[in-house]
Structure 1
């Protein structure tokens, strides 16, 4: 139960971080994708820095949650990050949740409860996984991430953000699995800096962060957030069951868990179409308006009047 509570708070912090970072990154031109200049621009923006603080807080709670619970149990809770993102976006952009949004949140919440309650994994230990199995799991996950990044780089705007969002979710899912390995090593008495997973996290973590910034810069939250939200726990659960040897309940519980997963998926797809996620392209909306620190107009923010000239201030 403690792990689930910690993961809920982590999801809320991650949602806040996504909205704040998207708020800052939306002003960046597409030409700066995957460049050092993108990071140099963002680090000067207050909204981005606040987002980083929220993200770090979420990371710490996430790591503790994984350490005290089985990864296949607590990682599905991360899908609640999308409703939290909607709530944060509604405040940021001054809009209200509609009936469809609340219905979707209800479906996702019920589905999540069914999935977590029926899955109830047992057994499994990251500390007993052979090195060859770790290597195979990392190689397969990394290959999928690279393929998604390549597809994203070849795509444009919304499609690029979608591909990079899924790649980011997979990278964070891999990072969570490595953190579970660190926790298992420390719990059996190994030193934090003597286990190889610690150094793997030091590599995968920054890569995941870099992918996230590019996903947020490439398009609206409606394009990037759903893929990130679903892929992260999906990869982690796959690792828990396929690599760590965790066992989920079968029979009727498995069928109910599948129904819960379907409800989560339906709710997520409905939430992904919410105008609140599209509203991050509204010029000057929200309390952080004007703090972007850049002179270039946000992509998608400018509306051309009938005369073909831009309105003053745009």
Structure 2
């Protein structure tokens, strides 16, 4: 590793982790705020109008903006294959912050599931040894294979989110579409960040900045709808934060010329790290379903109810409360 690379990682890694902290805290604040307004449909375009003016939601917006700035800094100095997976750590911060906002203790199993996600990520990064720092996207037909897959995933997610009769599939669909759009936005932001390093006016000469300005807000709107539909924040956010870096890694490898360790042993280790992340997500989802299904405690058992978490909604594997606020 050259001295220049070392300096770049010294900037990129702390910026990515601090960005994850901001994103996690912002997600918890926004999720709580969405429960304080009237619930709408799974693709409610008027949700922003009801949220504007809510102090907690505005705090979440401030955290999101700061997190995005830190993510831009990280992407300007580090490869997508490093920066995006580090954002999975936001899941842990969001889980603890959400528990505090709901005045309950963090559930041990959900905490362990979040730690599994982070541990799997750490192992994956150690084995993969991401390298390269692409600054531009490929052009022409090279964009099509991955672009087609991302488009199909997004449309399927939106379809399930809008039309599925299953509460769990609606939340899953929204979370999948959000994660894909977040990962795509991050890949484009990587290009924009490198353009900013050339000059302040350089990004305005390219289409990537304008596409970010379209895709980013759509992804954010979907995330707010996902938070409102979900009974618990952590499971839905786990799906989003798992897909976001996976899409970012795919973009780095397919569109930006970055690379990772591809030996058979390394691929096995990377697959094992990915499996640990999936197990963590399954634990989070299963535990959220169990908590949602628990009966509401009577007034004499208020302390125990607070310890277990919020009362029941129409619980499911993704922690959904179909119509609760």
Using the size of structure 1 for normalisation, the TM-score is 0.81
Q: Is there any run of 5+ residues in structure 2 with no aligned partner, and where?
A: 1-8, 297-301, 307-321
Counterpart of 2:189 (choices 179, 192, 202) is 179
Distance in structure 2 (CA, Å) of the matches to 1:177 and 1:17 = 21
Within a 5 Å distance, the mapping from 1:170-249 to structure 2 comes to 170-187=180-197, 191-220=202-231, 221-222=233-234, 224-249=236-261
TM-superposition CA deviations, 1:267-307 (whole Å, max 9, x none): 2322334459968x999x8xxxxxxxxxxxx9336xxxxxx
Q: Is there any run of 5+ residues in structure 1 with no aligned partner, and where?
A: 286-297, 302-314
TM-superposition CA deviations, 1:222-254 (whole Å, max 9, x none): 552221111111111111112212111122333
Q: Does 1:261 pair with 2:271?
A: no
Using the size of structure 2 for normalisation, the TM-score is 0.78
More displaced stretch, 150-159 vs 181-190: 181-190
TM-superposition CA deviations, 1:130-178 (whole Å, max 9, x none): 2443466445423321221011101253331221011101001000011
Distance in structure 2 (CA, Å) of the matches to 1:131 and 1:185 = 20
Instruction: Please name the residue that 2:177 is paired with.
Output: 167
State the number of aligned residues.
Answer: 289
**Aligned pair in 2 of structure 1 residues 97, 277: CA closer, same or farther (>3 Å)?**
farther
Instruction: Please name the residue that 1:26 is paired with.
Output: 35
Instruction: Please name the residue that 1:44 is paired with.
Output: 53
Q: What CA RMSD, in Å, does the superposition of the two structures yield over aligned residues?
A: 3.0
Structure with higher RCO (Cα < 8 A, 6+ apart): 1
Within a 5 Å distance, the mapping from 1:1-314 to structure 2 comes to 1=9, 2-123=11-132, 125-127=134-136, 129-134=138-143, 137-155=146-164, 156-187=166-197, 191-220=202-231, 221-222=233-234, 224-251=236-263, 252-274=265-287, 299-300=323-324
**Aligned pair in 2 of structure 1 residues 3, 276: CA closer, same or farther (>3 Å)?**
farther
Do the aligned residues in 1 keep the contact of 2:181 with 2:215 (CA within 8 Å)?
Answer: yes
